[in-house]
Amino acid sequence: MCAFLRDLCHSFLYKYSGYDEQSFHEETAMGDYTVMISHDEELARYIDTTLLSTSRWLQYQKLEGFAAVLVDDDENVAYSYQINFFKTEVKLKKRM
């Protein structure tokens, strides 16, 4: 899940931010789809650091949603993307 969220962040920034297209390169993710990943060290480090907390929240099943938001120079929301997580519960019956 964290790899998917990392890919989402990079692709979201590629499509909607003011970063130069040349600072991104194509990667195949999970063998199924192509994503644009930034090779700007500062940006990649920021995304990775941010996702460290997300990874812990996922591990302890405390994450209910994930939002990626870009704001303009006046701090108005320019673009946003929201993913909601739902817990599933499986109860097993004991066989006698």
pLDDT digits (tens, 9 = 90+) for 50-60: 898 888 888 88
pLDDT of residue 92: 62
- Of 20, 54, 59, 60, residue with least CA distance to 38: 20
- pTM to 2 decimals? 0.74
pLDDT digits (tens, 9 = 90+) for 7-40: 989 998 898 888 888 999 999 987 788 999 999 9
Q: What does the domain layout of the chain look like in residue ranges?
A: 1-63
Alpha-carbon distance values, 28 to 54, 57, 89, 90 (Å): 22, 26, 32, 33
Of 47, 49, 52, 60, nearest to 10 (Cα)? 47
